Amino acid sequence: MPGYVSTFQYQSAISHAPQFAPRSYRHFTVSPITGAMGADVEGIDLATASDAAIAELEQALVDHLALMIRDQSLEPAQQIAFANRLGRAFPWPFAREMEGYPEITELIQEPGDKYAFGGTWHSDSCNFEKPPKYTMLYCVECPPVGGDTGFSNQYLAWESLDPKLRAELEDVRTVASAELGYGTGSQDAEVLANATTKVTWNPELNHETLHPLARTHPVTGRKALYTCDSFTARFEGKTQEESLPLLRKLWAHAVTPEFTCRLRWKPGSLAIWDNRCCMHYAHSDYPGHRRHMRRIVVEGERPV
Ligand code: SIN
């Protein structure tokens, strides 16, 4: 047998404990989706939920990282009101606002669009000093199949790194740049020009931000890997060229299939996720169909 070098490594079995023993919630039912993360939620009306139900929903988000809340009927103002119960909904500066509702970005992909907003693995706006803690999408219209949002659990990504490497990376910081994700170089110009919803590059918002490579979640105290190719330019004190070999390994590791789930859409479903401990990815596998979401981000804290 020729002496080949192995080019792959098996992932050791790994799982996120709350997926297997969901709490018994008083105000709604929770059905976990994979061993890694994600849950379907039924039996709550976000427009009329009590404070106790909203507090319990935030607990479910801590436990499962991303929730798909079914059977809602939310006008834009009601979605904004719900978001403001979780923190401060704020206008997202890189896309056109929904008329009359500055906190909402309408994500619309028409049947002929080739550009998929959010079609890379990322944590939202980690180029901000204070990136959003939560993002929520309310589904107005979706294809009969396809257009799922994928998620990856970044606690598992950090905890499953080789312990020696993890020790070396413990105090490392990265430099995030908006130009990478939203700059003109990041997308085929013609595809972007024809997109119905696109990020609009604003050079005035192009500043670099330093964040820990592993951030500590303010509620759970657990560390999560916090880097993505959309925004991380380099390690602090290193050039992009010096940083890329290790960054590329970390980005590939971050989306190991065992860390992931996919949430399937239906009109009237609202997904909400915690950007401090998971990444997400908009699947663009529905040519010829329309997808329409209303997106809101909720302000977070400075990552530590
Ligand atoms: C996003 O990246 O915020 C959008 C994800 C999606 O449309 O599924």
Residue with tokens 């996919």: 262
Give the Cα separation of 123 and 281 in Å (integer).
9
Per-residue pLDDT of 84-105, as tens digits, reads 999 999 999 888 889 999 999 9
Percent of the chain with pLDDT over 90: 80
- Distance between Cα 226 and ligand 1 center (Å): 18
Contact 215, 223 (CB under 8 A): yes
- Quote the CA–CA distance of 243 and 233 in Å, as a whole number: 8
Q: What is the pLDDT of residue 94?
A: 84
Say whether pLDDT at 265 is over 70.
Answer: yes
Q: State the pLDDT at residue 155.
A: 98
Q: How far apart are the CA of 127 and the centre of ligand 1, in A?
A: 16
202 or 247, greater pLDDT: 247
With a cut of 80, say whether residue 184 has pLDDT above it.
no
For the chain, what percent of residues have pLDDT higher than 70?
98
Per-residue pLDDT at 187: 66
Average pLDDT over residues 167-175: 97
**What is the β-pairing status of strands 134-141 and 39-42?**
unpaired
User: What local confidence, expressed as pLDDT, does residue 197 receive?
Assistant: 81
Token representation of residue 122: 């990322």
pLDDT tens-place string over residues 105-140: 999 999 988 888 889 999 999 999 999 999 999 999
293 lines ligand 1 (CB under 6 A): yes
Lowest mean pLDDT among 35-39, 201-205, 221-225: 201-205
Instruction: Note the pLDDT tens digit of each residue in 6-30.
Output: 888 888 888 899 999 999 999 999 9
Asked if residue 89 lies in contact with residue 294, where contact means CB atoms within 8 angstroms, the answer is no
The pLDDT value recorded for residue 174 is 98
- If one residue of 125, 128, 140, 149 were mutated to test the ligand 1 pocket, choosing by the most ligand atoms within 8 A of its CB, it would be 149
pLDDT grade for 1, boundaries at 50, 70 and 90: low
Q: How confident is the model at residue 178 (pLDDT cuts 50, 70, 90)?
A: confident
Spacing, Cα 137 to ligand 1 middle (Å): 7
For residue 271, pLDDT beyond 90 = yes
- Cα 238 to ligand 1 centroid, rounded to whole Å: 31
* The pLDDT value given to residue 204: 78
Average pLDDT along the chain: 93
Query: Which position has the higher pLDDT, 254 or 204?
Result: 254
Mutate to test the pocket of ligand 1, among 113, 117, 182 (most ligand atoms within 8 A of CB): 117
Closest-CA residue, ligand 1 atom 7, reads 282
**255: Cβ–Cβ under 8 A, 6 or more apart, which residues?**
121, 152, 279, 281
> With 90 as the cut, is the pLDDT of residue 41 above it?
yes
**H or E stretch including 12?**
none
- pTM for this predicted structure: 0.95
Query: How many whole angstroms separate alpha carbon 77 and alpha carbon 132?
Result: 20
What CA–CA distances, in Å, run from 91 to 71, 153, 277, 297?
A: 26, 26, 22, 8
Per the listing, tokens 């890997």 go with 225
Query: DSSP state, 197?
Result: S
Q: Whose CA is nearest to atom 8 of ligand 1?
A: 282
Ligand 1 atom closest to Cα of residue 118? 2
Whole-number pLDDT of residue 299: 97
Mean pLDDT to the nearest integer, 52-71 = 98
pLDDT of residue 185: 61
Interval 218-228 mean pLDDT: 97
What the block records as the tokens of 218 is 């303010």
Q: What is the pLDDT of residue 115?
A: 83
Distances (CA, A) of 30 to 37, 79, 136, 208: 12, 21, 18, 39
Q: Mind listing the pLDDT tens digit for each residue in 132-153?
A: 999 999 999 999 999 999 999 9
**What is d(CA 120, CA 243) in angstroms, rounded to the nearest whole number?**
20
- Please identify, by atom number, the ligand 1 atom nearest to the C-alpha of residue 147: 8
Dist. CA 279 → ligand 1 center (Å): 10
Q: What's the whole-number mean pLDDT along residues 156-165?
A: 96
pLDDT at 183: 66
> Which residue of 138, 293, 297 sits with most ligand 1 atoms within 8 Å of its CB, as the best mutation to test the pocket?
293
In three state form, how does the secondary structure of 253-287 look?
HHCCHHHEEEECCCCCCEEEEECCCEEEEECCCCC
| CA proximity to 259, closest of 57, 39, 38 | 38
Index of the ligand 1 atom closest to the CA of residue 107:
7
- DSSP annotation of 122 reads B
Q: Is the pLDDT score of 188 beyond 90?
A: no
Distance CA 96, CA 44 (A): 31
pLDDT at residue 186, rounded to an integer: 63
Q: Is the CB of 149 under 6 A from ligand 1?
A: yes
Spatial contact of 297 and 91, defined as CB atoms under 8 Å apart: no
- Across 157-259, the runs of DSSP E, i.e. the strands, are 173-177, 208-212, 214-216, 223-225, 232-235
Q: Which two tokens stand for residue 96?
A: 């056109």
